[in-house]
Amino acid sequence: MRQKPVSIKTKKRIQVILVLVSLAFAGLFCRLTWIQLFKGDEFESLASDNRFNEVPINARRGVIYDAKGKPLAISVMTDSVYVNPIEVVKAKKVEEVAGHLAEILEMDKEGLVERINKNKTKWFVYVKRKITEEQASAIKALSLPGVDFQEEPMRVYPKGSLLANFLGFVGTDNNGLSGLEAAYDSVLSGVAGKLMMELDHRGQSIPDATQKYIPSQDGRSLVLTVDETIQYILEREVKKAVEEHNPDKMGILIMEPKTGRVLGMAEYPTFDPNHFNDYDQKNWRNFLISDVYEPGSTFKTVVMAGALEEGVASINDHFYCGGAVKLPGGTVRCWRSTPHGSQSFLEGVQNSCNPVFVTIGLNMGKDIFYKYLNGFGFGKKTGIELAGEATGILVPQKRAQELDLATMSIGHANAVTPIQLLTAFSAITNGGNLMKPQIVKEIRDSEGNVVKTIEPEVVRQVISASTSEKVLKALETVVSSGTGKSAYIEGYRVGGKTGTAQKIIPGIGGYSDREFIASFMGAAPVNDPQIVCLVVMDYPKGPLHTGGAVCGPIFQAAVKDVLSYLQVPTQVEPEKVSAASLEEVTLLDYTGMSVAAAQGQAASQGLSVSIVGAGDQVYAQLPLANTKMLKGGSVVLYTKLPKSAETLQQIAVPELTGKTAEEVLAIAAEYNLNFELTGQGVVMYQQPSPGVMVDVGSKVTVGLEEPLAEGASGELAGP
């Protein structure tokens, strides 16, 4: 039978089908070629991931060393216990295994049983990570089926709470959560390894399957600028201060002004980073970089530097303190109720006189004032490489009024962080260069080789070296003759500034008249500053609350030991210091003596003499007889009037400022004058003035008041 010929139409259909099949095979071939050549590695990785279940193995974090190479944070290997649920279920010992583990690890047995049964097709489930050596030994002794251990690095802080707020801490997965650990996490953490177990096509573990182990790479280590010994000194003083004054919080920050290197940073409250979860989270904060406050009179150093640099004022310019400066919107008062009267700029610095600095701030004007606010870095981060640094708060320049400028001049209105303030002070004292605060000086690899050295960084020059020198000389007189006498350090030239700022009342606004932030900021030695230090105390309790009374002695004790540790040579011969500054003498009674005899007696006691009056016989003296004072001090001798005036029976009014009512009454017994006392506290004013000759029996009005904070602004508009 003859086959029917294929029609042309059918042939065309067959041809189309052949073309389509060929194109399909060609496309498939191209696809396979593209996958093999260009996507092969990716799909191989995906296949491997699908085939293997992996458990990350944390790398050992790098060590954190102090400046002298002493370890402050290390990583040690510890056991983490895990179970292989497949083996435990297969052995039919879920209850037994869970019971033993729960008892040793202090866990809930029922919860552990549920977790094993829920993951019965898996080969790896953590029971508890980073257990103690005793717990690991107890579990190993039982030889429980399906129970094994994985070594993991655990962060340990061998010095406990030392530098805790600075260092921070790490979490269970070895990642930095706060402080330096968080800021340098990428450097310290290294590269994690892997433990991999082969799975079947259903994603379940295969008994006795292939395992892969990819080792981790240890992190790099840090060498800090902080010195462990200096840190111990600072924390010792913080502990003593907390016991004495019970503040809400306090801290001491110390730097090298020429490099910006932080040498120590101690604060309260603190915590032990080995057990950070045992503490309230507020204890974790490093408030020296993260909290802002109105600094009060320590900020006057910034105003002084800008004014001297711009020629707005000179050290010898004279100002008048009438007790207050009235401005549109409010009044800024002096901290002392008795007006300082006429005084030079230098005396205004020594007295921390508010009206003097208000006048200078207003004379600077808004543009110049903000030039130095910005120049010294206020209102922006310093760049210190610690997590959580705040920027501070500035009154916007566009809306700043005269009253704002006045209150800013005495350290109110603007809020700064302690690290900002000390960084600015470093620039003021180091010749004018604003330095970036530095906390790390070297980065080393896991073998201890230096891979990076971090050099000091100059941000910009703010003031000239000559202005810096003038400020330092002025600040030295604050310690020698002004409000900062409590910070004097035997054998060293010290300059500094006290500060006592009223706290803002939370939720209400305005300033508290009983809660203060006391501070002292200083440099030593002033002729070649090696260190600058800030002591700040938030709300000291008790009778003392001023920066000079509370923080000056802390500065003195800490900086004295730091200078000694750094082997900074003394600048005064020890025998002279001892003779002039340490030996006490009891003041003789010079009244009735001739001036020459009194001068001779005073000289024999190592005292200098100032004579008031033109007579030749001593009629009165200050301090009074039997007063104890240090050698090198000065005695004021008042002489009788010429014989032609003796019939007037006059007497010199004694100096009473700063004395208590009891002390005034004791002095009254020595003078034939009528003292009229009003108020409570200490003597803030007297009339007539000290040294004025008045008739015997004259009335002397004495006003006593509780002193305001040194940086207090009195009446203010708004919060």
- Residue with more model confidence, 577 or 592: 592
pLDDT tens for residues 88-142?
888 888 888 888 888 888 888 888 888 888 887 777 888 888 888 888 888 888 8
pLDDT (0 to 100) of residue 646: 41
d(CA 613, CA 610): 10
Catalytic residues: 297
Q: What is the residue-averaged pLDDT of the chain? A: 83
Q: What is the DSSP string of 287-318?
A: HHHH--B--GGGGHHHHHHHHHHHTS--TT-E
Q: Contact, 541 vs 518, CB < 8 A?
A: no
pLDDT (0 to 100) of residue 644: 35
- C-alpha separations of 410 from 144, 713, 719 in Å: 71, 8, 15
pLDDT (0 to 100) of residue 710: 45
d(CA 624, CA 643): 25
Question: What are the φ and ψ backbone dihedral angles of 500, each rounded to 5 degrees?
Answer: -140, 100
Where is average pLDDT lowest: 119-128, 196-205, 681-690?
196-205
User: How many residues are given for the chain?
Assistant: 719
Question: What are the φ and ψ backbone dihedral angles of 633, each rounded to 5 degrees?
Answer: -75, 175
d(CA 150, CA 98): 18
- Residue with more model confidence, 201 or 531: 531
111 contacts: CB under 8 Å, gap ≥ 6: none
* Sheet strands side by side (includes 634-639): 608-612, 634-639, 618-622
pLDDT (0 to 100) of residue 326: 86
pLDDT tens for residues 645-684?
344 456 667 767 667 777 777 776 666 677 777 666 766 5
- Whether 70 has a pLDDT exceeding 80, the answer reads yes
Using a 10 angstrom Cβ sphere, with 0-12 exposed, 13-18 middle and 19 or more buried, the burial of residue 315 is: middle
- DSSP run (H or E) holding 354: helix 354-375
pLDDT (0 to 100) of residue 199: 55
pLDDT average, residue stretch 477-499:
91
Q: Contact, 58 vs 152, CB < 8 A?
A: yes
Where is average pLDDT lowest: 78-87, 546-555, 579-588?
579-588
Q: What is the DSSP string of 121-159?
A: T-S-EEEESS--HHHHHHHHHHT-TTEEEEEEEEEE-TT
DSSP three-state, residue 174: coil
Angle value at C-alpha 109, between 105 and 112, nearest 5 degrees: 85
Beta bridge partners of 520: 498, 535
In 10 A of CB 659, how many CB atoms? 18
Q: How confident is the model at residue 229 (pLDDT cuts 50, 70, 90)?
A: very high
- Whether 560 has a pLDDT exceeding 90, the answer reads yes
Structural tokens at position 530? 């090696």
Question: What are the φ and ψ backbone dihedral angles of 260, each rounded to 5 degrees?
Answer: 80, 5
Sign (positive or negative) of CA dihedral 326, 330, 332, 333: positive
pLDDT average, residue stretch 289-311:
96
d(CA 408, CA 389): 22
533 contacts: CB under 8 Å, gap ≥ 6: 252, 253, 254, 255, 422, 521, 522, 523, 524, 555, 558, 559, 562
- Residue with more model confidence, 434 or 649: 434
Q: Contact, 188 vs 223, CB < 8 A?
A: no
Whole-model pTM: value is: 0.71
Percentage with pLDDT > 90 across the chain = 44
Nearest to 479 by CA among 582, 551, 552, 549: 552
- C-alpha separations of 459 from 263, 299, 307, 385, 655 in Å: 19, 20, 21, 15, 49
d(CA 116, CA 93): 11
Q: Contact, 167 vs 73, CB < 8 A?
A: yes
Q: Contact, 453 vs 256, CB < 8 A?
A: no
